[in-house]
Amino acid sequence: MLEKIPVFNSVAFPVPQDFDRVVDIANNLWWSWNSPGHQLWTSLAPRLWEQSHNPVELLRAIGPEQWHTLTQSESFTDRYRDAVTAFEHYMDSDDTWHGTHGRDGDCIAYFCTEYGIDSSLPIYSGGLGILAGDHLKSASDLGLPLVGVGLLYRRGYFHQEIEADGDQQHIYPTLDLDDLPVRPVTATTGGQLRVSIEVPGRVVQAAVWRVEVGRIPLLLLDTDVPENRPSDRPITHTLYVRGREMRFAQELILGVGGVKALDALGIAPTVWHVNEGHAAMSMLERLRNAVGSGIPLDTAREQVKERTLFTLHTPVPAGNEKFDRALSAKYLGPVAEGIGVEVGELNEWASSNGEEMFDLGALAIRFANNVNGVSARHGEIVTRDWSHLIGHEAISVTNGVHTPTWMGREGSRMLRNDFGMEWATKLLENPDDIKRLSEVNDYLIWQWHQNRKDAFTTFARGRLRRQFARHGQSPDELGSLENLLPTDRLTLGFARRFATYKRATLLFNDLERITELLANPDRPVQLVFAGKAHPADDHGQALIRRLVELSRLPQLVGHIHVLEDYDARIARYMVQGCDVWVNSPRPPMEASGTSGMKAAINGVPNLSVLDGWWVEGYTGDNGWVFGSEEPNDDWDAADAHDADDFYRVLEEEVAPLFFDRDDEGLPTGWIEMMRRAIDTSLVRFSAHRMVAEYYEKAYHQQ
């Protein structure tokens, strides 16, 4: 069913016939997590690749003369054949996890407002999108019959520039669709498929595009089409747009338009996975369809519910998407009429805790047979806060990360050599095989890490040089950056969304104390920060300003660095190249957190508050905990306590272990900690495990 989603190529590439399969590989994000695909682009045009990291853009830039040279290159021809062979084997193989463990007739629809598959397709902002992208990749690797549904943001999420004073600037470039791996879905009548979404007084058209994520089709809706009035064309332009009414319109397009797109393509899901409340209005459209087919309302509600899974990613009800009821009254009249109720009834379905708000989380919970949290602890919190709507305990499926995407090349190469290209799936089925890691000698593991640390240091210096050049620093000052981030220092990484509950500045609660620790001549430490604050989050932006101010203090210069424009590419460098991953949320507000998982699979131990996934992940010998696990309403007292504990653990446990070297200069105790970090995370906190668990707990049970 999913293989029959027709597309047509709207962009022509001047590629010789002998190498025409590069177009297929460029238009499938399979290459982003499979080394033969990645190596194809580096051998095709190394310099252009380093500039763009975008295969579609690369192919558009290569001319006939360069292709003529490539046809004479034996090494490129070998890389091309290797990539084509690996791609065809992957796409055509029936030997998958789902083929062994699944059932015939499955069809899973996965709705999410953002997807972070690769930085070359910038339609994501952070954790939720990266998680959704990892979900699709693992579903592809496992062979699940799943289709993703989202929006095509022509202006994406903002690029971040940090000014010399620490102010965050928001830059929204317009994406050129010809440079993206998106292709128009063909309508049965010809041309690009459009779906119609009724709003009072008019109809909004949404074009449907397809992105290939390995075996998984991702459908993206786009309102920037000539048929729409000028004021409706920007609805899908910007991810997490500030205006509340525009946001409501986006989520109407996602929910209602997404269901219509699947209907138009003849796709009849057996399970609907609504990932976060943004897509909750898909349930109303499904209800309207059922009632429209003659099914009584109560029966239709039960039918929608029994096939729906809703995943919450927020730790408290206040974190869910809520709108003024004036917006539901303005936009949902046609939906309510199709269901046979008044808009006021829809408002009641989307009500919670007596608030006069249209709460998408509450709406989704009422129409979902299964509701899940994204860690064991979060599942308990979801049950505590939402049991009055769920009616039973929430299930929990702890998040995971797509290990082939996030693991460094040295570790990945070893696993490929031992278990083949499908190593992540083979480890899922035989997790004890990870014990192979214990056979790798200390020197090799340390060398792997040093290679990743060197790569991160080179990247970070280049990024900081561009930042400071824009700030107007002199050539001599820019030249001195070659000495930044010395690799013999203990490097702590902190990268995530700058929300206040994540407490990015907690480590500086006692400035004198942290200065002593960072500037210790015998055990020097440096901190690297990266992350964006939402354009409407003044408090989050203030955290960035404060970090920049701290990095300029004479006693801390060279020990604190703030990298701008955090994205998936920077994230890979950081989780692979830092020595320690720091996480300092205010408990219990971290629903899961996945950046620490990405670090752990690379042998980068976590130094974290015991919250979210770390409650399950911490074993006592694979990282460290600090602070209190229990919430404290006295935030100042809690911050002081947690900061003091951080200083103690860093000084007494982390730094001594890192700097304790044997006669050969190896930190043997630290290397054992690295082994344990990998051993306890590589399978248990993989997206393969997560997707398999979703299948067994929810997809297969619907």
How far apart are the C-alpha atoms of 372 and 370, rounded to whole Å? 7
E strand or H helix that includes residue 198: strand 194-199
Residue 13, pLDDT score: 82
Provide the edge-to-edge strand list for the sheet that holds 560-563.
560-563, 525-530, 490-495, 580-583, 606-608, 623-625
The verdict on 137 and 73 lying in the same domain is no
Q: Which residue has the higher pLDDT, 311 or 476?
A: 311
With b meaning 16 or more CB within 10 Å and e meaning fewer, what string describes 35-60? bbbbbbbebbbeebbeebbbbbbbbb
**Same structural domain for residues 71 and 102?**
no
The pLDDT assigned to 316 comes to 54
Q: Please provide the average confidence, as pLDDT, over all residues in the chain.
A: 94
Helices (DSSP H) in 322-441: which residue ranges?
Answer: 325-331, 333-339, 343-349, 360-366, 376-390, 403-406, 409-419, 423-429
Whole domain around residue 79: which residue ranges?
Answer: 2-92
Structure-model confidence comparison of residues 346 and 436, the more confident one: 346
Task: Tell me how far apart the alpha carbons of residues 54 and 257 are, in angstroms, rounded to a whole number.
Answer: 29
Residues 6+ apart with CB under 8 A from 585: 501, 502, 503, 593, 609, 611, 612
Residue 20 burial by Cβ neighbours in a 10 Å radius (0-12, 13-18, 19+): exposed
| pLDDT tens digits for range 443-493 | 999 999 999 999 999 999 999 999 999 999 888 888 888 889 999 999 999
122: its two tokens: 């910038």
Q: What is the share, in percent, of the chain residues with pLDDT greater than 70? A: 98
Task: Determine the length of the chain.
Answer: 702
Structure-model confidence comparison of residues 6 and 408, the more confident one: 408
Count Cβ atoms below 10 Å from residue 255 Cβ, excluding itself. Answer: 29
pLDDT, tens digit, 9 for 90 and up, residues 64-120:
889 989 988 999 999 999 999 999 999 999 899 999 999 989 999 999 999 999 999
More confident residue, 400 or 320: 400
Q: Are 623 and 675 in contact (CB under 8 A)?
A: no
Task: Quote the CA–CA distance of 396 and 312 in Å, as a whole number.
Answer: 10
Beta-strand ranges (E) seen in 469-567 are 490-495, 525-530, 560-563
- Pick from 595, 412, 563: nearest CA to 484: 563
Give yes or no: residues 671 and 522 share one domain.
Answer: yes
Q: 554's torsion region: left (phi>0), alpha (psi -120 to 50) or beta?
A: alpha
Number of DSSP helices (H) and strands (E) in the chain, helices first? 31, 20
pLDDT of residue 14: 84
pLDDT tens for 585-598 read 999 999 999 999 99
**Long-range pairs, 196-203, Cβ under 8 A, ≥24:** 196/260, 197/252, 197/253, 197/256, 197/257, 197/260, 198/334, 198/335, 199/249, 199/252, 199/331, 199/334, 200/330, 200/331, 200/333, 200/334, 202/229, 202/232
Cβ atoms of 636 and 654 within 8 Å: the answer is no
Task: Specify the pairing of strand 146-151 against strand 395-396.
Answer: unpaired
Q: Confidence band (pLDDT; 50, 70, 90) for 1?
A: low
- Whole-angstrom distance, CA of residue 210 vs CA of residue 157: 20
Count of C-beta atoms within a 10 Å radius of residue 537: 16
Question: In this model, does residue 318 exceed pLDDT 50?
Answer: no
Kindly report the CATH number assigned to the domain that includes residue 576: 3.40.50.2000
Among the ranges given (218-227, 386-395, 660-669), the one the predictor scored with the smallest mean pLDDT: 386-395
Residue 702 has pLDDT above 80, yes or no: no
pTM recorded for the entire structure: 0.96
Instruction: State the pLDDT confidence band at 701, using cuts at 50, 70 and 90.
Output: low
pLDDT band, residue 319 (cuts 50/70/90): low
Residue 657 has pLDDT above 70, yes or no: yes
Structure-block tokens of residue 112: 């999410």
Distance, in Å, from the CA atom of 72 to the CA atom of 86, rounded to the nearest integer, reads 22
Same domain, 293 and 438: no
State yes or no: pLDDT of 31 exceeds 80: yes
pLDDT band, residue 126 (cuts 50/70/90):
confident
Taking the C-alpha atoms of residue 81 and residue 579, their distance in angstroms, rounded to an integer, is: 37
Greater confidence (2 vs 368) lies with: 368
Three-state DSSP class for 627? coil
Indicate the number of domains in the chain: 3
Inform me whether the pLDDT recorded for 317 exceeds 60. Answer: no
Q: Say if CB 361 and CB 321 are below 8 A apart.
A: yes
Statement to judge: residues 391 and 445 lie in one domain: no
Query: Three-state DSSP class for 484?
Result: coil
Tokens of residue 655, six digits: 């730094």
- CA-CA distance, 385 to 400, in Å (whole number)? 24
Token pair for residue 314?
Answer: 């927020």
d(CA 205, CA 192): 12
Residue pair 573/460 in contact (Cβ under 8 Å)? The answer is yes
> Does 413 share its domain with 386?
no
Distance CA 473, CA 471 (A): 6
Same-domain status, 39 and 121: no
The phi-psi region of residue 205 (left if phi > 0; otherwise alpha if psi is between -120 and 50; otherwise beta) is: beta
The model's pLDDT over 515-544, given as tens digits with 9 standing for 90+, comes to 999 999 999 999 999 999 999 899 999 999
Do 393 and 431 share a domain, yes or no?
Answer: no
CB neighbour list of residue 230: distance below 8 Å, 6 or more residues apart = none
Contact 138, 690 (CB under 8 A): yes
Cα 342–chain centre separation: 38
> By the 8 A CB rule, do 19 and 70 touch?
yes
Phi-psi category of residue 627: left, alpha or beta, with phi > 0 → left and psi -120 to 50 → alpha: left
CA distance 344 to 127: 34
Under 8 Å between Cβ of 624 and 606: yes
Q: In the beta sheet, which residues pair with residue 213?
A: 216
Q: Output the pLDDT for position 190.
A: 87
Phi and psi based region of residue 96 (left: phi greater than 0; alpha: psi -120 to 50; beta: remaining): beta
Structure tokens at 33: 């997590």
Q: Where do the DSSP E strands lie in 456-559?
A: 490-495, 525-530
Residues 299 and 205 in one domain: yes
CA distances 16 to 60, 66, 180, 305, Å, are: 13, 11, 21, 52
Q: Which of 92, 120, 149 is the last residue of a domain?
A: 92
Rg (CA), the chain: 25
| Amino acid 51: pLDDT | 87
**Per-residue pLDDT tens for 178-202?**
999 999 999 988 899 999 999 988 9
H or E, element range at 643 = helix 635-649
Asked if residue 218 and residue 353 are part of one domain, the reply reads: yes
Does residue 410 share a domain with residue 390? no
For 611-636, what is each residue's pLDDT tens digit?
999 999 999 999 999 999 888 889 99
CA 318, CA 352: separation in Å to the nearest integer? 10
Please check whether residues 156 and 33 belong to one and the same domain.
Answer: no
Identify the pLDDT of residue 159: 94
* Domain final residue, candidates 92, 123, 157: 92
Among 92, 125, 153, the domain-final residue is: 92
Cβ neighbours, 10 Å, residue 520: 14
